[in-house]
Each structure stands twice: as C-alpha cells, then as structure tokens.
C-alpha cells in the first residue's frame, strides 16, 4: 500500500465466479495515474481485436485515480473503461459522487470485470475483500429500490452503490452507470456493457482511511479553498446555479441547441434560465465527496402530472438542452420528469434526447411514418411524447426498441447516414454545445477517441480575455495568446492539444474539472503540490501531462486496431452549414476543407499517423510504451 492508493486491483471472473487480487507497485501508478490510464492499460493488453462489445471477452474496468478520496474539493471521480457498445471504440466515462472514494476505502483502486455471469449478480466489496452476490430479485427494480435493498441486505445505510438500471440490463446502447442516484458514467453505454455481463451493481463500504503523505497540508488547503472559492466567479456561479445558467448564457451567444441544432438561440430563454430553475425547482444544493462547491441540484416537484422523486436529483444543463430546448421543450417541470426517468432506468440523457430529436426530424421529413412508430406522431415541442418515448426506450417496448439502438444505427437502418440531421461522431450523439460558436469544441468532437464529447478540453470562451483567471492559469502549459472562439488556426490546434491533455490528466487523477484550473479555481501549480502531498512523490506538471498522453495513445492504438481512421474524425454536415441565428448568423464558421486540415495538423502535432490514427513508433518509445508497439506489430492478446 502506498500513499493515496491501495496498490490493489480486483480481478473478477464472472463466468467462473472467481475473484483475485492483483498487487501493483508505485511505478504502475506513476505510469498510469489511475482512472482512464489503468483502464486503457488493460483494454489494449487483454481485449481481443474486433470482438462485439457485448461479447464476454470485452472487459469493464472501474478505476479510481491516485487523488480520488483525498480531503481536497473535487477529488472524487472514477472512470469506466471498455470497448463501447455505442461506438465500438475504446470508450471511457468519468463519474463524480461518492462511489470512487468508497471503493478505495473498501480496499481497492480498481475493479476489472471479465466474462459474463450466468445470472444477474452484484459485487459486494468491503474490508479488502469481495463477494459475488445474487441479484435476480433486483433486475426489474428502479435505481432507488436497488440501492435501498442492497443497503438493507448488507446492513448499512453508508454503503455506496454504483449500478446500471433496467436500461442497462436491456442493453440500451446508451445506458449509463449511476452512483448515489445522481452521478453518472454517462456516455459510451457503460450501463449496457455492465448489463451485458449480468452485473446489476457494485456495492462498497469503506472500513479503512486512505493514507496521505502530508495530511496537514491537504487539510489546510481544503479549508482555505472552501472559504475562498466563491470569491472567483468561476466558483460562485457553480455554487449558485450549478450548470443550469448555461441555457440562458449559450442562447444569448447563439450556441444553444434548439430544434435539433437547426437554431442556436431561443426567442426568450427565461423559462429555462438559471434563475427560473432556482425559483421553480431548486430545493437544496448537493455536493460530492468532500466538495464545498455543491454544484448538484436537489429539486422538489410535487406535481400531479410531472411529480418527481427528489432522490434522483434535478436536471443539469446537458439534460435541460437534450430533453428540452433541442426538442423545442421549455417546460422545466417536464424536463425534470424526463431527467428522473433517465436516472431511474440509467440512461444517458444526451444520447436519449438526441436520438428522439433525430427520430422527430426523420418523421417530419417523411423518412419514417406512423407505420414505423407504433402509430405515434413524432413532433418537436411535445413534452408528453418525450416522456413516453423515454419509458419505451428503457423497456425496449415497440418503437422504443429501435430508439434504444441510438442515432447512428437508426441512420444506417433508415438510409440517412449522409443527411445533415445525423448528428453523431463515431456513433455517439453530439452534446449540447454548438461548435459553430466554439471551434475548439468542434475539434474535440471530431478527434475524441470515444465519440463526440464536451468534456475533452476547456471550452474556447474561457480564453478570450488575457486578464482572466482561466487564461492566466494555463500559462504554465505554454499558452500565451488569447484566441477568438470561432477562429480555426494552427495556434488553436496547438492550444487544443495542450488543453485536451490537461483535462485527460485531471480525469486520470480522479479530479473534477470544476474544482481546478482553468475551469475551476485551484491553480495548476497548487494542484501538483497537492498530488505530492497525497502520494509523497516528487512529481511535476510535465510528468503528469506525459502520463495523460500515455493513456490517450493506448486508446488511439486500440482504435487503430479496430479500424478507425482519420475519416471518422469529422463533424455532421449541419455544423458546416451557415449559422442559423444569433451572432454571425448566415455565416459558415468553418469550411470543411479548413477543418480537415486542422485535424491533419492535430495528428502531426501529437505524433500519430494521420491516416490510421496509430501512434508512430517514436511516440510509443517516448512514452515508454514499447510493450504496446510490440503487441500491435508482433502479435499478442490484442491482435
């Protein structure tokens, strides 16, 4: 056992119902940091090529970071990694909450699931031991009921449960994993992967504190952060609004998805503003483990039509847009009900909402008719339809069985893959930030190894003002020039590479970006000092960036092996079309040719072949990944 980590990984063979403990040394953690780093290490090394994601040969890895569970704010995250059922690529998804710290205090840094159980099970972890338990009685239960039953069976209300839901057990391809009922490994379909292995849940109860190298420094730093983070607007706005203010902010900037991205602003965003949310829905502010920011929303809604169970939490921005504005719905109560349904059954609200929007536009254009939809008339602006379709999707009932496959598979089935309303990248539906107002976000959607995602790198508007905290905070990375959000330049590509690596590093460490620069308020140099106070290392920002890069290169190597190329790194046609409204309306923000040149430059900068996406041999050597190079070029488990 080291400082900050347990030095143990649980290896769970579901088919043979055996559990082994792998001992890991300090170099393993300095090499991988944790989270996605540990996950991709196993994925490339041990998952055979070209398998179906639902094959028992796929793996599901749940891994904490070396900073997960420290007393610092925003240090609670863990990663889910595997071959994504939604995209077929190397997938990852991070979640905050309480499960990550609890797993570590229960004795383990990570869990590796292999094979498939012959019947539904859950894994019970405590005191450095684990046991496979029967879960046949939990399959059809909602997430709240499962959490309550497991706590009762195991005899403690302090147990933390990470689980998939009915959607995951039904293999809805965008099912997710939830912990504490309101925190999610939300993208890439890891709930479906978990369900395909017949794992209903993982329950952890911590019995040992995490050893820290300099606990007094960490205690004082955490206390000071809690006292001062609201002095910075980046911190105060998250406390006051969470992410719910973004609808109004993005609408004003012409960056809010409306009408399936055919518009980018609302005529009046007041009904979905942060202030309206606080007035109509907010009951209390909720936080994650050891975090004073409290950006999560606890809501109260006792409504005859749209009443919600408050334990499932309230919608955040991505949900407000995906189940709201992008479907032309601005009824916050209806959106909250849709959010509750997704949380109860464990479905990603982004993919669910975008798939419904895609189906509505296909219906509008005559691609599908009532004969395809069980007689339902699909139309934008219908809140009751949205709620009904979510229920049908989770249960795979009727037309919902088709929606459960996600947008990309439906586009192929309906023959509209090349149409502008097919808004997915690598098979994953795009999130709720419009690249026509944030070019860096568009680059991120295209080059992400795991499909379009808004959490690849900090967003462009943070770096407009050279006097802002966010801009000043990234100077240690070598970023010295502010840039306009709609510029697509060589400098923008270089900056994106650095910022993407920074955020991937924070993911691997187990950190939430809302707590640390440039999106949060803790400076990078202090973050590194805190890491060393946790681990006793003498680490540097350079070492951490290289570790983050190492994990990404393993993911790129995996994707290259699976057949992904630079041709998969593009955007839907609608995002190349002239901007529909808002600032710069009528202007094509970037031409396809310019965008493609930027992607080619990106590959040159990171040391990968632009055609295959595979790291060059020299890059493998630089990152001490000779084993990966040999595996890919000389045969082995992964070939």
Residue 312 forms part of a structural domain: yes
Cβ–Cβ under 8 Å, residues 223 and 485: no
Whether residues 50 and 190 fall in one domain: yes
Residue 539 forms part of a structural domain: yes
Give the contacts of 535 (CB within 8 A, at least 6 positions apart). Answer: 2, 3, 4, 5, 29, 66, 213
Residue 526 backbone class (left: φ over 0; alpha: ψ -120 to 50; beta: rest): alpha
What's 281's domain CATH number? 1.10.569.10
Is pLDDT above 90 for 20? yes
| pTM for the model | 0.97
Whether residues 20 and 113 fall in one domain: yes
Looking at residues 598-607, what average pLDDT do you find?
97
pLDDT value of residue 302:
80
Instruction: Work out the pLDDT band at 116, boundaries 50, 70, 90.
Output: very high
pLDDT value of residue 636:
52
Whether residues 452 and 418 fall in one domain: no
Report the DSSP pairing between strands 8-13 and 110-114. Answer: parallel
| Helix (H) or strand (E) segment spanning residue 177 | strand 177-179
pLDDT value of residue 638:
55
Give the contacts of 373 (CB within 8 A, at least 6 positions apart). Answer: 359, 363, 399
Q: Which of 389, 424, 459 is the last residue of a domain?
A: 424
Residue 60 forms part of a structural domain: yes
CA 420 from chain centre, in angstroms, equals 25
Whether residues 185 and 105 fall in one domain: yes
Alpha carbons 326 and 170: distance in angstroms, whole number: 26
Residue 27 forms part of a structural domain: yes
Residue 540 forms part of a structural domain: yes
What's 481's domain CATH number? 1.10.599.10
Helices vs. strands in the chain: H and E counts, helices first: 24, 16
Residue 449 forms part of a structural domain: yes
Give the contacts of 227 (CB within 8 A, at least 6 positions apart). Answer: none
Beta bridge partners of residue 110, listed in sequence order = 9, 63
pLDDT value of residue 637:
62
Residue 220 forms part of a structural domain: no
Whether residues 389 and 511 fall in one domain: no
The predicted-structure confidence for 136-160, as pLDDT tens digits, reads as follows 999 999 999 999 999 999 999 999 9
pLDDT value of residue 553:
98
Q: Find, among 237, 235, 260, the residue nearest to 248 by Cα.
A: 237
Whether residues 333 and 252 fall in one domain: yes
Which of these ranges, 298-302, 411-415, 436-440, 565-569, has the smallest mean pLDDT? 298-302
Whether residues 150 and 275 fall in one domain: no
Alpha carbons 74 and 206: distance in angstroms, whole number: 19
Where in the sequence is the domain holding 453, given as residue range(s)? 439-634
pLDDT value of residue 552:
98
Whether residues 289 and 387 fall in one domain: yes
Give the contacts of 622 (CB within 8 A, at least 6 positions apart). Answer: 607
Which of these ranges, 58-62, 212-216, 612-616, has the smallest mean pLDDT? 612-616
Q: Find, among 32, 17, 12, 213, the residue nearest to 108 by Cα.
A: 12
Alpha carbons 639 and 633: distance in angstroms, whole number: 9
Q: Which of 178, 205, 232 is the last residue of a domain?
A: 205
Mean pLDDT of the chain: 96
Instruction: Work out the pLDDT band at 612, boundaries 50, 70, 90.
Output: confident
Task: Give one DSSP letter per residue of 274-333, joined into a string.
Answer: HHHHHHHTEEEEE--TT-S---EEEE----TTT---GGG----HHHHHHTTGGGT---HH
Looking at residues 97-105, what average pLDDT do you find?
98
Longest dimension (CA), the chain: 67
Look up residue 106 and give its two tokens.
């229960």
Whether residues 405 and 271 fall in one domain: yes
Whether residues 420 and 445 fall in one domain: no
Instruction: Tell me how many domains the chain contains.
Output: 3
Describe the crossing of helices 626-634 and 541-561 by its angle, rounded to 10 degrees: 10
Q: Which of 378, 396, 424 is the last residue of a domain?
A: 424
611 versus 320: the higher-pLDDT residue is: 320
Residue 373 forms part of a structural domain: yes
Whether residues 284 and 394 fall in one domain: yes
Whether residues 469 and 347 fall in one domain: no
What's 143's domain CATH number? 3.60.9.10
Looking at residues 470-488, what average pLDDT do you find?
95
Percent of the chain at pLDDT above 70? 99
């Amino acid at each position: 056992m080291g400082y900050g980590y347990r030095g143990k990984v649980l290896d769970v063979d579901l088919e043979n119902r055996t559990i082994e403990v792998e001992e890991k040394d300090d170099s393993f953690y300095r090499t991988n940091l944790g989270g996605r780093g540990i996950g991709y290490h196993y994925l490339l090394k041990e998952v055979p090529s070209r398998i179906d994601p639902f094959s028992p040969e796929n793996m599901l890895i749940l891994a904490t970071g070396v900073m997960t569970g420290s007393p610092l704010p925003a240090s609670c995250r863990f990663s889910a990694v595997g071959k994504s059922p939604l995209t077929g690529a190397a997938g990852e998804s991070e979640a905050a909450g309480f499960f990550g710290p609890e797993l570590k205090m229960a004795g383990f840094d990570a869990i590796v699931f292999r094979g498939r159980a012959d019947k539904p099970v859950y894994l019970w972890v405590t005191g450095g031991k684990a046991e496979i338990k029967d879960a046949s009685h939990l399959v059809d239960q909602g997430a709240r009921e499962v959490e309550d039953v497991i706590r009762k069976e195991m005899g403690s209300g302090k147990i933390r449960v990470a689980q998939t839901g009915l959607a995951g057990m039904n293999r809805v391809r965008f099912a997710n994993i939830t912990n504490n009922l309101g925190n999610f490994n939300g993208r890439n379909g890891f709930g479906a992967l978990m369900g395909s292995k017949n794992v209903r849940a993982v329950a952890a109860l911590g019995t040992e504190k995490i050893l820290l190298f300099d606990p007094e420094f960490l205690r004082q730093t955490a206390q000071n952060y809690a006292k001062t983070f609201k002095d910075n607007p980046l911190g105060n706005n998250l406390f006051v609004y969470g992410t719910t203010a973004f609808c109004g902010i993005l609408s004003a900037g012409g960056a809010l998805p409306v009408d399936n991205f055919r518009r980018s602003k609302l005529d009046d965003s007041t009904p979905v503003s942060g202030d309206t949310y606080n007035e109509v829905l907010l009951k209390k502010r909720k936080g994650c483990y050891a975090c004073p920011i409290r950006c999560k929303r606890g809501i109260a809604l006792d409504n005859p039509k749209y009443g919600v169970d408050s334990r499932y939490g309230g919608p955040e921005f991505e949900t407000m847009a995906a189940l709201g504005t992008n479907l032309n719905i601005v009824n916050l109560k209806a959106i909250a009900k849709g959010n509750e349904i997704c949380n109860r059954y464990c479905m990603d609200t982004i993919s669910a909402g975008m798939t419904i929007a895609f189906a509505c536009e296909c219906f509008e254009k005559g691609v599908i008719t009532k004969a395809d939809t069980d007689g339902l008339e699909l139309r934008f602006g219908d809140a009751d339809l949205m709620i009904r379709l979510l229920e049908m999707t989770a249960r795979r009932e009727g037309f919902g069985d088709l929606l459960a496959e996600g947008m990309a598979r439906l586009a192929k089935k309906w023959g509209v893959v090349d149409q502008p309303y097919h808004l997915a990248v690598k098979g994953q539906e795009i999130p709720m930030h419009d690249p026509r107002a944030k070019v860096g976000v568009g680059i991120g959607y295209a080059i992400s190894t795991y499909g379009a995602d808004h959490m690849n790198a900090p967003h462009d508007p943070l770096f407009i003002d050279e006097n802002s905290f966010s801009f000043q905070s990234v100077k240690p990375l070598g970023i010295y020039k502010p840039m306009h959000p709609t510029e697509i330049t060589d400098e923008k590509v270089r900056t994106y590479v650095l910022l993407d690596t920074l955020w991937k590093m924070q993911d691997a460490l187990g950190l939430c970006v809302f707590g640390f620069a440039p999106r949060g308020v803790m400076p990078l140099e202090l973050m590194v000092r805190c890491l060393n106070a946790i681990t006793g290392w003498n680490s540097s920002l350079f070492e951490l960036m290289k570790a983050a890069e190492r994990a990404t290169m393993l993911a790129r190597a995996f994707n290259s092996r699976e057949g992904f190329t630079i041709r998969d790194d593009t955007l839907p046609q609608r995002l190349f079309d002239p901007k529909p409204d808002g600032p710069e309306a009528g202007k094509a923000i970037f031409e396809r040719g310019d965008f493609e040149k930027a992607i080619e430059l990106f590959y040159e900068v990171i040391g990968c072949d632009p055609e295959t996406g595979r790291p060059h041999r020299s890059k493998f050597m630089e990152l001490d990944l000779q084993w990966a190079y040999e595996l890919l070029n000389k045969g082995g488990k992964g070939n």
